[in-house]
Structure 1
Amino acid sequence: MSFDRMWADLAPVGRDADSGGYHRYTWAGADTDARAWFTGEAAARGLDVRTDRNGNLWAWWGAPGPGAVATGSHLDSVPDGGAFDGPLGVASALAAVDELRARGVRPARPLVLAVFVEEEGGRFGVPCLGSRLTAGEISPERARGLTDADGVTWAEAMEGAGHDPDLMGPDPDTLALLDVFVELHVEQGRALEDTVHPVGVASAIWPHGRWRMDFTGRADHAGTTRLADRNDPMLPFAHTVLAARALAEEHDARATVARSVIVPNGTNAIPSLVNAWLDARADSEDTLMAVVEGVRAQAEAAAREHGVGVAMTAESLTPLVSFTHGLRDRLAAVVGTRAPDARGPVLPTGRPPSPEGASRGGGFPPSTATGVPILPTGAGHDAGVLAAHVPTAMLYVRNPTGVSHSPQEWARPDDCHAGVLALADVLQDLLARPVGEAAS
C-alpha cells in the first residue's frame, strides 16, 4: 500500500533522535519540510495544490468548484508530540486517492485534501488557528499579533515563510465549495482497543478551551528577603495548579496546567511574573465553565493572600460539537460493511511503545449500536471548527497505547491500512451521492 512508503518518508521529519517525539512548529523548518512533502506527494498524483490566504494547503482532484468532498488534517505537532496526531489523516487521505483510482473511481465532483496550519497551537498558543481564521472564529488582527516563546509574531513568521499576513481572514468562498468534510485521526484514548474494530466514528467533541493566567509579583533576592516581605507569584500559581486538578476531579472533567513561563527564572531570584496556561475540557459547557470559574476564584483568592496580582484571559473557547447525526450514521454504515479484523502484533514503524507507556485511560466507552463504535472525544480538531459551517464527521483509527501528544502514541500498520480503506470507502460513497445530501 502506498501509505507505507509515504509514512516512511514523512517519519524522520522533525523527529527528535533521543526521545522519538516530534517538533513540527508552524512556519519553522520541520513544518516547512512536512508541507513540502505533502505538496510533492499531491503534485505527483496530479492534484492541483493551492495555499489559501491563511496558509492552509488545499490539493484538488478535479477543478475547484462547489459540491466538493473534503478530507485531511494537519502536520504540525505539540512539543515532543507523537507521529500520528494529524499526519495520519494527511497520509491516509493521499493513500485513499490512490485506492480510489485503483478502483477506477472518477469523481463527478471535486475531491479536495486539506492541511490546516497551527492545529495544535504548539508555537503560537491558539489551537486550530488555520481553520479558525478560515471560519471567521478569530480575527486576523489578533492572529497576526500572536507571539511564540521567542517573541516572534505570527505575522513575522508567516511573512518569513513567504506568505502575506495582511491577506489573512475569513474565507467563506472556500467553505462554500465544501459539501462535506471528513477527518481521519488516530484515536486519542483506548476505547477501540477493547473492541474488534480498527476504525470507529466520532459522535461529539467536548467543549474545551485555553485560558492564560498572569500572576504578577515583585522580583527580589531569594536569600535576603524575609518570607513575610515577599510578593512571590509562584505561591498562588502552585495553589492554582492543585485547585485545577481538584475541581476537575469534582466535576468529572479535565483541567491541566502544563505550560508556564517564569520571569526572571533565576535560581536565587524571587520571580516577578508567572505566565501559565489552563487547558480545560468537560462534557457540557456548564460543567466546563464551573471548572474554569472555580479555578479563577481560587487563583484570585491565593493571589490576594500573597499580595500578588492575577489576570485570567480566555485565549480560545470551543463549544460542544455534535457531529451531524445523519452523516455520522452514514459513515458508520459504510465502515461497517467491512468485517472487523483480528488484532495482530504491534509492528514497529518507528519507536514502539513501552509496556510502561501503555494506558487504559483517556478513552470513553464506545456506543456500538450500529456495530461500528461511535464515541466522543475530549480532544479538539479542525473538524470541530468546520462543523459549524460544513457537514462534518470524523473517523478514528485504533491506538493500542491510548496515549497521545507523546512519543508513545501509536497505531498498528494493519490498523492504519484499515483506516485508509475505510476513508476510501467513505469518500467513494459521498462522491456518489447527490450534492447537498451528504448528511442525509
Structure 2
Amino acid sequence: MERIKNDILQLSKFNSTPEKGLTRLSFTKEDRGAREYIKEQMKEAGLLVYEDSAATILGKLQGEIEGGPAVMIGSHYDSVRNGGIFDGNAGVVTALEIARVFKENNIKPKYPVEFIAMIEEEGSRFRGGLFASRAMTGKVTRQTLDKYVDNDGITIAEAMKDFGFDPDKIEQATRKKETVKAFLELHIEQGPILENTKADVGIVEYIVGIEEIEVTVIGRPDHAGTTPMTMRKNALDAAAPVIANVSKFALEAGEGTVATIGILELEPGAANIVPSKVTFTVDIRSRNVECINEVKDKIINLLNKETSCEIQTVQKLFAPPVKMDEQIVGDLSKYCDELGFKKQMMLSGAGHDAMVMADITRVGMIFVPSRGGRSHCPEEWTEFEDLQKGIELAYCETVNLSK
C-alpha cells in the first residue's frame, strides 16, 4: 500500500495550482513532470517504455505469443482545473503497481500486457475530451488537431509540436482491433453509491453516452445606456431561453438523463456594453442515445427560433452508451467473491476512456469509493485501503486476461 500511496502523492506534485487543487493540463510542464515520473516507474518495473504519436505513455510486458494482441490496463493522468489527486491517477497507479507485482512474481504472461497512461481525457485544455483513446481508435485526424484550441488560441497541433510530438503522424496512434485483446480501467467512482452501500468496489455494467455541444450566439456590441431596447442585438437575450430550459429538457427526456451548461462566456464582458457574443457548452448524458438526441433536438429547435442573432453550434464530443464486456463483468464478480470484497453492480454516469476503447476491443471497468461522492474538486479523496482492494481485483483480471 505504501507504493500506491507514494505514487499518488508523487504525481500530485506536478500541479500548476497547488493551493487550489490539482491542475495538470496536457502538453505543459506539469504534464512533462508527471510523464517522466510514470516512464521511470515503468522502466523500473521492467517494461519496454514508449509513447505513441498521440502522446500516450505505454509500458509493454512481452508475452509468450510474440506479436499477440495486448491486454491494456491504465487510465489518464491529466486533470480538470482545480480538481483532485485521484481522478485518472488512480487508474495509472493501478497499472504501475500491477506491473511491479508481475515483475516481483516473475509472471510471464501468454499475451503481452500494455500498461498505459493517457492525456487530455478531461478536455480541460482543448475542450475535446477522451483525446488519447479517440486517437487510439482512429477518431482523431490531422485536421482535428487544428480544430481544437485552448484559451490562448493554441491548437492541439501547435502544442504537440512544441512538446516534441509530430502532429502529422497522429494517425499512427491508431490501433487495429486485432492488436488489442482487452482494455481494463480502474477509476474512482466520483459519486456516493459505493460509500452509501458500504461496498468495497463497483463493477461497471454500462457507461452512459455523452454528447457535448458548443453554442455560439453572435449579436452586436452597443452602449448599454444609449441603445434602445428595441434596437439591440443582445446575444445573451438570445442565449437565455436555452440556458433556462436545458435542465427541464433533461427531466422531460427521463431515464436519468442529465444536461449541464458548464462553460458560459460573454464578450466583451463589460458592465456598460450590450453582450455581442455568448459561448456556452451543453453536456448531455444518458444510457439511452434517444434521450440524448431528444435534449439536443429541443436545444437546436429553440435556437432556430432566434432571428436577431447569428447562431453557431459545434459538436465537441460524442460517445454512445457502452455496455461492458459480459465475460469481464462476470470474471470481476467472481474474483470479488474469492477475495471477500463486497461488490456493487453499477452504471457509470461519467465518461471514461473505456467507453471509447470499446470500439476496438472488450472492455471492463472497476470503481473504488469516493469520500462523500466528491470529485473534480480539491476535496476529492479515496482511502488508500479502498484503492488497494480495487488494484487487487484489477490484478486478478489482468492475470486472467493475459493467460
TM range (shorter): over 0.9
Instruction: Give 1:103 deviation, angstroms.
Output: 3.9
Task: Tell me the equivalent position of 1:313.
Answer: 314
Task: Tell me the equivalent position of 2:301.
Answer: 297
* One of 161, 164, 170 as aligned partner of 1:162: 164
Listed one character per residue, the Cα deviations across residues 357-399 of structure 1 (whole Å, up to 9, x for unaligned) are xxxxxxxxxxxxxx63221112111111010111111111111
Equivalent residues in 2 for 1:20-169, closer than 5 Å: 21-62=21-62, 65-169=67-171
Q: Which amino acid aligns with 2:96?
A: L
In the alignment, is the contact (CA less than 8 A) between 1:71 and 1:182 conserved in 2?
yes
Which stretch of the first structure deviates more once superposed, 328-337 or 212-221? 328-337
Equivalent residues in 2 for 1:138-217, closer than 5 Å: 138-169=140-171, 171-173=173-175, 175-217=177-219
Instruction: Give 1:175 deviation, angstroms.
Output: 4.8
CA distance in 1, matches of 2:219, 2:262: 21
CA distance in 2, matches of 1:195, 1:101: 35
CA distance in 1, matches of 2:5, 2:19: 23
Q: Which amino acid aligns with 1:32?
A: R
Residues matched between the structures, number: 398
CA distance in 2, matches of 1:18, 1:94: 27
TM-score by length of 1: 0.86
Equivalent residues in 2 for 1:404-423, closer than 5 Å: 404-423=375-394
Q: Which amino acid aligns with 2:125?
A: R
Instruction: Give 1:171 deviation, angstroms.
Output: 4.1
* One of 282, 286, 308 as aligned partner of 1:282: 286
Listed one character per residue, the Cα deviations across residues 211-232 of structure 1 (whole Å, up to 9, x for unaligned) are 0101010011112212222111
In the alignment, is the contact (CA less than 8 A) between 1:119 and 1:128 conserved in 2?
yes
Which stretch of the first structure deviates more once superposed, 388-397 or 186-195? 186-195
CA distance in 2, matches of 1:243, 1:138: 33
Instruction: Give 1:174 deviation, angstroms.
Output: 5.8
Q: Does 1:263 align with 2:267?
A: yes
Task: Tell me the equivalent position of 2:331.
Answer: 330
TM-score by length of 2: 0.94
Q: Which amino acid aligns with 2:190?
A: Q
Instruction: Give 1:313 deviation, angstroms.
Output: 2.1
In the alignment, is the contact (CA less than 8 A) between 2:138 and 2:175 conserved in 1?
no
Question: Residues 197 and 335 from structure 1, CA distance in 2 versus in 1: closer, same or farther, beyond 3 angstroms?
Answer: same
Identity %: 27
Question: Residues 322 and 138 from structure 1, CA distance in 2 versus in 1: closer, same or farther, beyond 3 angstroms?
Answer: same
- Could you tell me which runs of 5 or more consecutive residues in structure 2 were left unpaired when the two chains were aligned: none
Task: Tell me the equivalent position of 1:348.
Answer: none
Task: Tell me the equivalent position of 2:363.
Answer: 392
Task: Tell me the equivalent position of 2:221.
Answer: 219
Task: Give the match's secondary structure for 2:304.
Answer: helix
Q: Which amino acid aligns with 1:337?
A: E
In the alignment, is the contact (CA less than 8 A) between 1:189 and 1:403 conserved in 2?
yes
Instruction: Give 1:137 deviation, angstroms.
Output: 2.1
Q: Which amino acid aligns with 1:30?
A: E
Task: Tell me the equivalent position of 1:378.
Answer: 349
Task: Give the match's secondary structure for 1:258.
Answer: coil
CA distance in 2, matches of 1:34, 1:239: 43
In the alignment, is the contact (CA less than 8 A) between 2:206 and 2:287 conserved in 1?
no
Task: Give the match's secondary structure for 1:169.
Answer: helix
Instruction: Give 1:161 deviation, angstroms.
Output: 0.2
In the alignment, is the contact (CA less than 8 A) between 1:144 and 1:165 conserved in 2?
no
Instruction: Give 1:172 deviation, angstroms.
Output: 4.5
Instruction: Give 1:422 deviation, angstroms.
Output: 1.4
Listed one character per residue, the Cα deviations across residues 128-148 of structure 1 (whole Å, up to 9, x for unaligned) are 111112211233212233111
CA distance in 2, matches of 1:258, 1:278: 7
CA distance in 2, matches of 1:8, 1:142: 34
Instruction: Give 1:15 deviation, angstroms.
Output: 5.5
Listed one character per residue, the Cα deviations across residues 20-53 of structure 1 (whole Å, up to 9, x for unaligned) are x221111012122111111111112221111111
Q: Which amino acid aligns with 1:276?
A: F
Instruction: Give 1:86 deviation, angstroms.
Output: 0.6
In the alignment, is the contact (CA less than 8 A) between 1:200 and 1:332 conserved in 2?
no
Listed one character per residue, the Cα deviations across residues 77-128 of structure 1 (whole Å, up to 9, x for unaligned) are 1111221111110011111222333444232331111112211111111111
Question: Residues 173 and 210 from structure 1, CA distance in 2 versus in 1: closer, same or farther, beyond 3 angstroms?
Answer: closer
Task: Tell me the equivalent position of 1:403.
Answer: 374
In the alignment, is the contact (CA less than 8 A) between 2:74 and 2:184 conserved in 1?
yes
In the alignment, is the contact (CA less than 8 A) between 1:76 and 1:118 conserved in 2?
yes
In the alignment, is the contact (CA less than 8 A) between 1:133 and 1:140 conserved in 2?
no
CA distance in 2, matches of 1:163, 1:176: 26
Q: Which amino acid aligns with 1:50?
A: Y
Instruction: Give 1:267 deviation, angstroms.
Output: 2.4
Query: Cα RMSD between the aligned structures?
Result: 1.8
Q: Which amino acid aligns with 2:206?
A: A
Listed one character per residue, the Cα deviations across residues 229-282 of structure 1 (whole Å, up to 9, x for unaligned) are 211111222321111111112223111111133222222221211111111111
Question: Residues 3 and 174 from structure 1, CA distance in 2 versus in 1: closer, same or farther, beyond 3 angstroms?
Answer: farther
CA distance in 1, matches of 2:92, 2:392: 14
Task: Give the match's secondary structure for 2:19.
Answer: coil
CA distance in 2, matches of 1:46, 1:81: 32
